[in-house]
């Protein structure tokens, strides 16, 4: 089955700096890659997603890039703010296999003011 | 529009007992999936239901089961509880079309003592 690896597991940055989280996946049939942000004690919330027919997607300070050949995708957060502190999860799924997400292990992002 | 609603939010059970968790998806959503979140294993897929049928199943023992009703509401059941079943159980819903946004509920915190 699919395997998603996520790095780093923890990331500490200064407010205003950029943060990059990387994920690799194993199943070349995966074609949908969402990113979720989970604050302590709360639900995972989708922050951005990308489909395999697109190489990059941006939404204000957040961007995701996808390299299908290398089977990896990355989350980029620019101008980080303390409220960006949370655990971020990447995930992958195969479009023709329903809605089963395989998650990476998560990255705890700490933004220091 | 109301989000994904899960009940109960918190519960404590004794080893050997069984538990039933409930999930009401976003109105109009026909796919409901369940995930287990633990510090050690991260977010793991349990199963997905679509139109009252199990469409996907993760690698969990048969003690974990679920069902979906005609109104798309779903329940999951864990029988013969073990200490290791202590976790946050998350329900997620989407329209049913693969690759569409998956929305999570707040989860049910289960503690097995």
Predicted confidence at residue B41, as pLDDT, reads 86
Predicted confidence at residue A98, as pLDDT, reads 67
Residue A96: is its pLDDT beyond 80? no
Give the pLDDT band (50/70/90) at residue A13.
Answer: very high
Give the pLDDT band (50/70/90) at residue A92.
Answer: very high
Burial string for B83-93 (b: 16+ CB within 10 Å, else e) reads eebebbbbbbb
Give the pLDDT band (50/70/90) at residue A53.
Answer: confident
Q: What is the mean pLDDT of residues A48-68?
A: 93
The angle at the Cα of A67, spanning A62 to A71, to the nearest 5 degrees, equals: 115
Taking CA atoms, what residue in B is nearest to A91? Answer: B43
**CA–CA distance, A97 with A3 (Å, rounded to integer):** 15
Lowest mean pLDDT of A57-71, B67-81, B86-100, name the range.
Answer: B86-100
Residue B99: is its pLDDT beyond 80? no
**CA–CA distance, B73 with B103 (Å, rounded to integer):** 14
The angle at the Cα of A39, spanning A89 to B18, to the nearest 5 degrees, equals: 85
Percent of chain A with pLDDT over 70: 96
Q: Least CB-CB distance to B99: which of A32, A46, A105?
A: A32
Q: Least CB-CB distance to A43: which of B58, B90, B96?
A: B90
**CA–CA distance, B59 with A89 (Å, rounded to integer):** 20
**CA–CA distance, A27 with A32 (Å, rounded to integer):** 11
Predicted confidence at residue A95, as pLDDT, reads 67
Give the pLDDT band (50/70/90) at residue A45.
Answer: very high
Give the pLDDT band (50/70/90) at residue B2.
Answer: confident
Predicted confidence at residue A59, as pLDDT, reads 94
Q: Is B58 on the interface with A (CB under 8 A)?
A: yes
**CA–CA distance, A38 with A46 (Å, rounded to integer):** 9
Predicted confidence at residue B12, as pLDDT, reads 98
Residue A54: is its pLDDT beyond 90? no
Distance from CA of B8 to the nearest CA of A (A): 15
**CA–CA distance, B34 with B45 (Å, rounded to integer):** 6
Interchain contact, A100 vs B56, CB within 8 Å: yes
Residue B97: is its pLDDT beyond 80? no
Predicted confidence at residue A97, as pLDDT, reads 60
The angle at the Cα of A51, spanning B1 to B95, to the nearest 5 degrees, equals: 30
């Amino acid at each position: 089955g699919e395997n998603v690896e996520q790095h780093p597991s923890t990331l500490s940055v200064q407010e205003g700096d950029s943060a990059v989280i990387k994920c690799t996946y194993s199943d070349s049939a995966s074609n949908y890659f969402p990113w979720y942000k989970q604050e302590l004690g709360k639900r995972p919330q989708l922050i951005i997603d990308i489909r395999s027919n697109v190489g990059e997607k941006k939404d204000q300070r957040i961007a995701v890039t996808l390299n299908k050949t290398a089977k990896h995708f990355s989350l980029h957060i620019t101008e980080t703010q303390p409220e960006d502190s949370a655990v971020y999860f990447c995930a992958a799924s195969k479009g023709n296999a329903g809605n089963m997400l395989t998650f990476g292990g998560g990255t705890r992002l700490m933004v220091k003011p | 529009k109301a989000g994904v609603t899960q009940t109960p939010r918190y519960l404590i059970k004794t080893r050997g007992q069984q538990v039933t968790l409930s999930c009401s998806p976003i109105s109009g959503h026909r796919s409901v999936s369940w995930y287990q979140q633990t510090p050690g294993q991260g977010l793991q897929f349990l199963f997905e239901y679509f139109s009252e049928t199990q469409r996907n199943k993760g690698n969990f023992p048969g003690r974990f089961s679920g069902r979906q009703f005609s109104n798309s509401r779903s329940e999951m059941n864990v029988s013969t509880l073990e200490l290791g079943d202590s976790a946050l159980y998350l329900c997620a819903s989407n329209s049913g079309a693969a690759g569409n946004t998956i929305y999570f509920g707040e989860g049910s915190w289960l503690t097995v003592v």
